[in-house]
Structures are given as structure tokens and as C-alpha cells.
Chains A and B, each alone.
Chain A
Amino acid sequence: RKEVEQDPGPFNVPEGATVAFNCTYSNSASQSFFWYRQDCRKEPKLLMSVYSSGNEDGRFTAQLNRASQYISLLIRDSKLSDSATYLCVVKNSGYSTLTFGKGTMLLVSP
């Protein structure tokens, strides 16, 4: 079983739609969780960290469920510019590496 699993998509949604991605992780000792966004041929960019209490940044909301070992990302009022691959990322300890999911592709159409 892969350490971090995501639905690869693509998710095709119209502008203005709400879309949610889920991600599961296998290591119960994982400490830090992030969503990164990656545009084609570009570097991954941090979208947001994910906290147990849940956190929101504008149109984006991230949730962490430690009991079920999954992370979610909700995007409201989708924009064309949201089209990208969203990478679920887990860090097992302070100085350990990041483990990436394979990413979920989002395509927002007019």
C-alpha cells in the first residue's frame, strides 16, 4: 500500500463549483500535513498546512482526521486559475522528508 494515496482525477468542474479532494496516509505516526499545488512543468508550491482543528484560507479549507488518517481539501467558487495538480504531502517528523501523493488533477472550465 502506498504511503500517501490520492484519487488522480481529473476532476472536471465548471467555474464557481465547489470541489473536494481526499487523501489517505498509512503512517499513523505522521506529524505534519500539507497541500501543495503544482502547475505543469513547475515546482510544487505550498498551498496550505493542515491542522487537526481544520484551517481555512480564503476559498480553501483543509481538514485533518487523525483517527481515520485522511486529509481533505475543499475549494469553493472554483476559478479557472485553480486548474492544477494538488499534491497531498505528509511529513513524518521534524527533519524527515516529505512523502507526496501522486496528486489530483483539477480542471476548471468556463
Chain B
Amino acid sequence: AAGVIQSPRHLIKEKRETATLKCYPIPRHDTVYWYQQGPGQDPQFLISFYEKMQSDKGSIPDRFSAQQFSDYHSELNMSSLELGDSALYFCASSTGNSPLHFGNGTRLTVT
């Protein structure tokens, strides 16, 4: 069965650079979520989209933005990167009241 696809798997950036993470949800899933997980931490909710509109906002910094496109894929844009942004970034998708299904994640390292 198709799963949530994220790219890239690994990303290394320097401080103050920008990064764009991509997420392709499971087909026919209408909701996309972004989570950030630091070392030894539980996943922290950043932002979600339902039918291409922002549906909920969590602890997403102002330096980050995201959108969902007409084909339902989503991108997380991160600017002015800081060392503390180094983390695993997970995208998840769902439909209705179903559980979330997570992608493999993007490991971002900021040096």
C-alpha cells in the first residue's frame, strides 16, 4: 500500500540558510500534518492542512511556513535556520477520524 513519502531523507544546511521539505500524503488522504522531533523528545506538532487550507497551528516558528498544493502534497519552508532546528521532521496524513500515518521523516542537520 502507498505510504506517506517525504523528501529529502537527509539534509545538511548551515546557519541562516533556508530549507524546503516535501511531503506526499497517502492518496485520498485530505489532511497533512507536520511534526518536529528533537533528540530524545516526543514529536511536536507544527502545523496541519485540511483540503489545502491551514487547519491547525502548533509550535511552528515564524521563520517557518508551509502550504498544501492542489495535488495535496505539502511543503515546509524553513528560513534563517538555527542550530536548534536540527531535528527529525515528520509529515503525516489522515482522512476523517482515521489514525495518522507517518512518513519516514527528513533528518535536518544545521551546522
Contacts and interface: CB of A to CB of B under 8 A. Distances in A.
Interface of A: 31-32, 34, 41-46, 49, 87, 91, 94-103
A97 B102 contact: no
B55 interface: yes
Contacts of B100: 46, 98
A101 B45 CA distance: 12
A31 B97 CA distance: 9
Interface residues of B, number: 24
Interface string B42-68: 110100101000011010000000000
A14 to B, nearest CB: 26
Which of A31, A42, A95, A96 has the most CB atoms of chain B within a 10 A radius of its CB? A95
A44 B90 CA distance: 9
B105 A95 contact: no
A62 B10 CA distance: 35
Given A43-B105, A95-B50, A102-B42, A34 B99 contact: yes
B103 interface: yes
A106 to B, nearest CB: 16
Given A100-B43, A102-B42, A95 B102 contact: no
Contact of A43 (B31, B96, B97, B104): B104
Given A43-B103, A45-B102, A100 B42 contact: yes
A49 B94 CA distance: 14
Given A31-B97, A43-B102, A97 B48 contact: yes
